[in-house]
Amino acid sequence: MILVIAEHRDGKLNRATLETVAAAQTASAGAGGPIKIAVLGAGVDAVAAEIAAADVAEVIVVDDAALKDYTADGHVLALQALIDAEKPDRVFLPHTYQTRDFAPALAARLKRPLVTDCVSVKDGSYVRPMFQGKLQADIAVEGPHLATFQIGAYRADAMKAGGSPAAVRKASIAIDASKIRQRPEAPFKEAKQAVDLSQAERIVSVGRGIKSQEHLQLAQQLAQAMGAEIAASRPICDAGWLPMDRQIGSSGQTVAPRLYVALGISGAIQHLVGMKGARTIVAINKDPEAPIFEIADYGIAGDLFEVVPAMIAELSK
Ligand SMILES: Cc1cc2nc3c(=O)[nH]c(=O)nc-3n(C[C@H](O)[C@H](O)[C@H](O)COP(=O)(O)OP(=O)(O)OC[C@H]3O[C@@H](n4cnc5c(N)ncnc54)[C@H](O)[C@@H]3O)c2cc1C
């Protein structure tokens, strides 16, 4: 049995959860065995009902006031008890910041191996990038284990829906709130404004080809016309032209939008590992040999200062 751990915030499931269910469906098609989904929180019936639309055997809810706000200890306590009771062979999680916070402790408590940042699963083994994406390793694990899946490795819309909603069951797990050491506070003000680019549908990303900070407004106009988020390669964020949370790549965010428009980005491997999961990649670069064109679906070899205004004009028609 595969148990998928759902992730949600403010009553909304994130896309990474749907992608992880799609990974579980792929894995179970090969090796067999049912899929169950765990939803943790307080008052999460609506979230459980939503994910019950997936083609899975069951949705298990751990509903406890102690889980109202996310804490690593709360998640470890609840999931350790749930996994001890349900005995899944495999536990699948989305490779999000939240998972990174608690999954290592959970794996240690369970004495199970944890394979992180997987991009695919086949015949019981996992593929994950190593050395900044230069190598892909095949990881074979013996016995029960946990695995996390990179954002965009599987597509959310590849998640199969069931003919009828899956059964939703409440697990009888009591959480000892006194064992939770973290005391969550209100989110930082910056965090409130910070954008989670991993959930963005469209992204316009700017590289050093933009030349100077005042030209950023050109990219911003294009993003606005497309209803896209703005992002950047590392040199742009290092220069302070955009905040760090807009950086895409190995030392920034990993994203998987439907559409990624790269303006004046060369396509260094450290950038590519952060955005190669995008469904459609459009690259504009004046160097026809730029490596970004190797992964672009549409390439425009031209000067972005001519191409972008033309795109904005066309989009605003
Ligand atoms: C440990 C480590 C971690 C890193 N992490 C990251 C990371 O997370 N994210 C990241 O992005 N990078 C990262 N880097 C940096 C990475 O190696 C590259 O240096 C960086 O991605 C290059 O950014 P760029 O493409 O914007 O700039 P450049 O490589 O300088 O490319 C600029 C491009 O713009 C084009 N251009 C110039 N003028 C125009 C014009 N008028 N119109 C159209 N095109 C034009 C040029 O042809 C060129 O291809 C990391 C590096 C290291 C060593």
Going by alpha carbons, the residue nearest to atom 29 of ligand 1 is 266
Give the side-chain half-sphere CA count within 13 A for 160: 13
The pLDDT value given to residue 192: 46
Measured between alpha carbons, how far is residue 11 from residues 43, 270, 277 in Å?
9, 34, 26
Ligand 1: residue whose CA is nearest its atom 49: 266
Phi-psi region of 13 (alpha: psi -120 to 50; beta: other; left: phi over 0): beta
CA of 190 from ligand 1 middle (Å) equals 26
Ligand 1 center–CA 233 separation, angstroms: 6
Provide the residue type at 252 as one letter. G
Return the pLDDT at 31: 67
Spatial distance between the Cα atoms of 192 and 278, rounded to a whole number of angstroms: 25
| Separation of CA 274 and ligand 1 centre (Å) | 13
Per-residue pLDDT of the chain (317 residues; tens, 9 = 90+): 999 999 999 899 998 999 999 999 999 986 668 999 999 999 999 999 999 999 999 999 999 999 999 999 999 999 999 999 999 999 999 999 899 999 999 999 999 999 999 999 987 799 998 886 778 899 999 999 999 999 888 988 899 999 999 999 999 999 999 999 999 987 655 444 467 898 899 999 999 999 999 999 999 999 999 999 999 999 999 999 999 999 999 888 889 999 999 999 999 988 998 999 899 999 999 999 999 999 999 999 999 999 999 999 999 98
- CA of 267, closest atom in ligand 1: 25
Neighbouring CB atoms inside 10 A of 317's CB total: 4
Q: Which of 203, 269, 271 to mutate to test the pocket of ligand 1 (most atoms within 8 A of CB)?
A: 271
Measure 260 CA to ligand 1 centroid, in angstroms. 15
Quick one: which atom of ligand 1 is closest to the CA of 211?
38
Q: Ligand 1 centroid to 119 CA: how many Å?
A: 24
Q: Pick the residue whose CA is nearest to atom 36 on ligand 1.
A: 209
pTM, rounded to two decimals: 0.70
Residue 290 Cα to ligand 1 midpoint, Å, equals: 10
C-beta separation of 270 from 247 below 8 A: no
pLDDT score for 37: 98
Give, in degrees to the nearest 5, the angle at Cα 115 between 109 and 116.
105
Pocket residues for ligand 1 (CB within 6 Å)? Answer: 207-209, 233-235, 247-252, 264-266, 268, 270-271, 274, 284-287, 290, 303-305
Atom of ligand 1 nearest to the CA of 249: 8
Mutate to test the pocket of ligand 1, among 234, 254, 272, 287 (most ligand atoms within 8 A of CB): 234
